[in-house]
Each structure stands twice: as structure tokens, then as C-alpha cells.
Amino acid sequence: MSKTKVIVGLGSCGLAAGAAKTYDALDKIKTADNLDFELAKTSCIGMCFREPLVEIKDESGSYIYGEVTPDRADEIIEKHIKQFSPIHDYVVQSDVFEARDNAFYEGQVKIALRNCGYMDPENIEEYETRDGYKAIKKIIDNKMSPEDVIQEVLDSGIRGRGGGGFPTGLKWRFAKNSEASQKYVICNADEGDPGAFMDRSILEGDPHSVLEGMLICGYAIEANAAYIYCRAEYPLAIKRLNIAIKQATEKGYLGKNIFGANGFDFEIFIKEGAGAFVCGEETALIASIEGERGMPRRRPPFPAEKGLWKSPTNINNVETFANVPWIIYQGASSYNRYGTEKSKGTKVFALTGTINNGGLVEVPMGMTIKDVIFKLGGGIKDDKKFKAVQLGGPSGGCIPEHLSETIVDFDSVNATGAIMGSGGMVVMDESTCVVDIARFFLDFTQKESCGKCTFCRIGTKRMLEILTRITEGEGKDGDIEALEDLSHQIKDSSLCGLGQTAPNPVLTTIKYFKDEYEAHIRDKKCPALTCKKLLSYKVIEDKCTGCTVCAKACPVDAISGERKELHHIDMSICTSCGLCFTKCNFDAIEVY
């Protein structure tokens, strides 16, 4: 009989929700009552909406408990471990019975996330028992040549998961074909897209698979040094990467003459980013590693010819590297079984926004966006109406509800005007104003523009000014046309991806929600009731008790009325600050 295992999810999300306290509580009970179970750690299990998560694995199967506070942990140990009776009400996912969130896992195919939540990321042996470092071993044992490896990656059909969707095998071949004594592999872990945390979860939950992927790439392109460029905002990921590199070096997976193969040396260094979104662009990233301002460089020459310190360099994203060992070990044909004709395999998405089950999912390419949101994501919070979904972050676009049958693959998503991006999927309901969202993204890209190209630097600023004016009720006729005109100029005249894609959120929202822009500009109304300055307030007669709270709260004395009598808001004085609405205890203020 195998020992019962109690596993606590200690990724950033779990820790933020208090998982460390839960772990301590479990440890205390185990010691105090001298209980015979194994207490283990893992990282992100994926169900962020139910953190902290604790999985109990016993002879009967697996039970994942959600929202496990220290108190609840006591109760679960008492019933499940001591009395062998699982508390079904607290179980969110199980392979034993139909738990409430089982649907979250149905339809998912875990390749990049194959180890996330299933092992202790700080323990290399656990990775090894899960076929870890067997892909690189297979390459050496079967005497696969670098070209064989590249062909296998090419056959798998995998395309870059960082957003561009360029065939990974092809990228490797370019770097391989560049003759040089020194070449580099770089892992782009500068996940700056707000609303995305796929790469963070992989780095925290399964750092070794990324290292192994980089090692395989190094073998294929004949490089012997590599860098991981990771955001400084991800301290836990950096810590676990450092641990993983140390363990892999001790075990001989990194270092000199790996697996006894003469001359196969490989070293990996970590470079911490310093908070610049543009450094996700590969030439800017290279500049940053070199110690410069992270500004993009002109291509060609592409990094595959002249990259880091002018040596041929291959850059891939975290998720791409995490897929590689699986592809090599299981074979290209196992991978390209999944997906559509032109987009093979799976894609990890970070589901966030006004969705019930926000978290990390990995689905085969070809699933509809609707299924991702409603089947896995459990639909929209508070039963509100689904309005749109933002794919690809500040570089992507809004896909409206009527296009939700769009399937996730590079080309279908591009056809809507959005981009697949790195996998952030921010769901918006009827209370989200798309003009405000467009303004939000422009505010972001305008701040993050490195300033090298005039159109990106000044154009985004002008666009932001127009959008801000519109959301504040100062929109004028011709604004929409001006936005479109500026968008096209910025797209045409920017050197890098940041500028070329920055106008996408504006263009897609204008394309699909023009009426909302017009409502803001012509009627000075925000249909989603989000843009504060466009809101009007009135007192609901039969709810007002005349308590005077609103009148006292009003900073401009726009509310009049005697105690215990109906109050009145004078909209000619009102500044639409909304204080009366938040202060009223009787829901007697209506926004319209």
C-alpha cells in the first residue's frame, strides 16, 4: 500500500492566497498527532480561483481541496486522513467522483504543463521520475545529429509560443546554419504582457523542463552558453531556476562533456530584467543583456546571424522550450496529432477577468474560444452577459461575443484582428467599457514605448490623448477617423513589434464596437457605465429615506433635501464623482 500524500500548491498565486500558512498548519497537525502521511510541495495546480489548493492522494484516487484555510486544513485532516471520509463539499476536483469543478480539466491536454502541479519543482529527482532529462538522453543514446533534432522539431509543427508563431524548427535551422565559434541560446522569460502568467507558472512549477528544452536547443544549434532573461517581478521563478540550474549541474546535465559526449558543453545563466515591456522584443532583449538601454535594433541582420555580442543567437519563449523535451521524447507525431492543420499541439492560456474559473489551462489548438470560456472557465461572473475577450494583451485585440466560435489557432485569431499572443485571455462582461480598455492599453504601450521610432513615441501619445478625451466626455466628430489614421501610420512606421501592434486594441474595438465610441462622442454616454465623467446620478424616490448621508458626502453640495425627506441631485452642479452612490446605505442612488 502506498503512503497517502498531501500536496500543497505553493506557486505565487497560492502563496498570495495564504498557502504557506496552510502548509504550516498541515505540518503542525502531522507532527502533533504523529500522522502517517507524506506532506509534499508543488507549484501552480492551475485553479487560481480556488487557491489555496491541497491535493490528497490516497489508495482510492486524487482529491483536490479548494480554498483550504488553516482551519479548513484541520477539518480535512480530521475527516479525510483520520476517518477516511473525504469531505465532498470542499473537493473541487477529483478522479473518484464528480466534483464541482471537474469540468475545468475536461478537454485540457497537458504537454507544456505536464509537470506543473504534479511534482516538487525544487526536487530534480521528481522531474527525473517523470521522464525528465530523458529527451536529451535519447538524443545522445540514439546518436541523433543536430540536424535530426531540428527535423524532429520541424516535423512536430510547433510554432513559437511567445506570440509571433514562427516555426520553431525553422528558427533553429537558421541559427544552426550560421557559422561561428560562439553561439547562444536565450530563453525569453520577460513576460510583460499584463494579464498573462503562463510563463511564470511554468518557471515556478517545472523549471527543469525549460532547462532541458534549452539544452536540446543548444545541442541542435551547436551553442554552449545560454541565458534566461527573466522579469525581476518574478522572484519565486528566479529562485527556483537557480535551484534547478544548481541541481542539473551537480547531476551532470549541465556543464562540460554532458553524458560523456565529448565537447558537448552547456552552461545557463540567469539575467534579471529590470522592468521594460519592450525587452520582450528579441533585439531589445539582447541589448538589455549586453547592459544597454533595451531598445530594439534593426533587422536584418536577424539574431540567428548576429545576435548577442554579434554571435548567432536563437531566442525562444518559455512555453516553447517547455514543449521541446516532450516532443523529442514522445516523437513529433505524438505532438502533431493535436491541433489544426497549420497550428499544431496545444496552447496554454491564462484565463482572467470577469470569469468564474480564472486560472491556467492548456488546450489543444482548434478549441473554440467559447468552449475555453464557458466549458473550462465556467462562464461569466455574477451571471453577467459575455461581451468580449482580449487576446494577446496590449499587442492583441478584442474579440467580440459574436465571434466567440473562433477557434484558437494562429491564423484564425489573426483573422479577427487580434493576435494569439503569449496566451493572456482577459474576459470582459457587459460592465466593461471597451473604449476605456483601449485607453488602458494605449496608456500602457505609450509608457512602454522605448522612444526610438517617432511614430510609436509620439503617435501613441496622441492616440492616448484622444482616447482620454473621449472617455471624459470631450470627444469630437472626427476622433474615430483620427485614431484610425494614426493607427495605420504607427503600424507602418515602427521598427519593432511593440509599435507595429500597439494600435491593435484600438482598431479592433473600433471595428467591433463602433457604436460605443459613438455613444461616448455624440451622446456623452458610457453604455457600460464605467467612464466616471459620463455618468449621471439620480435619487430613486421610493428608496430614499432622507438620511442625509449623500448630501453630507457630496463635495460640491449638489444634493439638497431636508432630513427624512426625499433628496434631489442637481446635475448642473454634480461632478459625477460617484461618492453619493458609494455612500448610500439604501441603494437609493441610480447611475445612468
At its nearest, how many Å lie between other proteins and the CB of residue 382? 12
The rounded distance, in Å, linking the Cα atoms of 364 and 335 is 10
Q: Does 271 bind other proteins (CB under 8 A)?
A: yes
Q: What are phi and psi of 171, to 5 degrees?
A: -60, -45
Q: Does 17 bind other proteins (CB under 8 A)?
A: yes
At its nearest, how many Å lie between other proteins and the CB of residue 271? 8
**Interacting positions 39-78 with other proteins (CB under 8 A):** 48-49, 51
Which residues, 6 or more positions from 280, have their beta carbon under 8 angstroms from its beta carbon? 162, 188, 190, 191, 192, 193
C-alpha distances (whole Å) from 517 to each of 256, 353, 474, 480, 529 are 61, 22, 12, 8, 13
Stretch that binds other proteins, among 80-88, 337-345, 419-427, 470-478 (CB under 8 A): 419-427
CB of 178 or CB of 357, closer to other proteins: 357
**Interacting positions 193-222 with other proteins (CB under 8 A):** 193-197, 200
Q: Does 81 bind other proteins (CB under 8 A)?
A: no
CB of 144 or CB of 426, closer to other proteins: 426
At its nearest, how many Å lie between other proteins and the CB of residue 191? 7
- Beta-bridged to residue 300, according to DSSP, are none
Cα Rg of the chain, angstroms? 27
The rounded distance, in Å, linking the Cα atoms of 99 and 329 is 33
User: Under a CB-based contact definition with an 8 Å cutoff, are residues 314 and 184 in contact?
Assistant: yes
Q: Does 533 bind other proteins (CB under 8 A)?
A: no
**Interacting positions 158-197 with other proteins (CB under 8 A):** 191-197
At its nearest, how many Å lie between other proteins and the CB of residue 239? 13
CB of 272 or CB of 484, closer to other proteins: 272
At its nearest, how many Å lie between other proteins and the CB of residue 194? 3
Q: Does 556 bind other proteins (CB under 8 A)?
A: no
CB of 197 or CB of 513, closer to other proteins: 197
Q: Does 569 bind other proteins (CB under 8 A)?
A: no
CB of 219 or CB of 277, closer to other proteins: 277
Q: Does 288 bind other proteins (CB under 8 A)?
A: yes
**Interacting positions 226-245 with other proteins (CB under 8 A):** 232-235
Which residues, 6 or more positions from 445, have their beta carbon under 8 angstroms from its beta carbon? 277, 394, 460, 498, 502
State which of residues 13, 324, 369, 496 lies at the interface with other proteins (CB under 8 A): 13
The rounded distance, in Å, linking the Cα atoms of 69 and 212 is 36
CB of 227 or CB of 512, closer to other proteins: 227
Which residues, 6 or more positions from 294, have their beta carbon under 8 angstroms from its beta carbon? 276, 278, 279, 284, 285, 287, 288, 450
Half-sphere CA count of 171, side-chain side, radius 13 A? 25
Q: Does 575 bind other proteins (CB under 8 A)?
A: no
Q: Does 390 bind other proteins (CB under 8 A)?
A: yes
**Interacting positions 302-361 with other proteins (CB under 8 A):** 350, 352-354, 358-359
**Interacting positions 445-504 with other proteins (CB under 8 A):** 448, 450
* Side chain identity, residue 79: K
Q: Where are the alpha helices (DSSP H) in 188-305?
A: 198-205, 207-221, 235-250, 282-289
User: Under a CB-based contact definition with an 8 Å cutoff, are residues 475 and 518 in contact?
Assistant: no
- Beta-bridged to residue 31, according to DSSP, are none
At its nearest, how many Å lie between other proteins and the CB of residue 225? 13
C-alpha distances (whole Å) from 62 to each of 14, 22, 102, 217, 360 are 19, 19, 12, 36, 19
> Residue 428: how many CB atoms within 10 A of its CB?
23
At its nearest, how many Å lie between other proteins and the CB of residue 274? 4
Residue with cell 511614430: 455
At its nearest, how many Å lie between other proteins and the CB of residue 530? 9
Name the site residues for other proteins (rule: CB under 8 A): 12-13, 15-17, 48-49, 51, 191-197, 200, 232-235, 271-277, 288-295, 350, 352-354, 358-359, 390, 393, 424, 426-428, 432, 437, 440-441, 444, 448, 450, 582
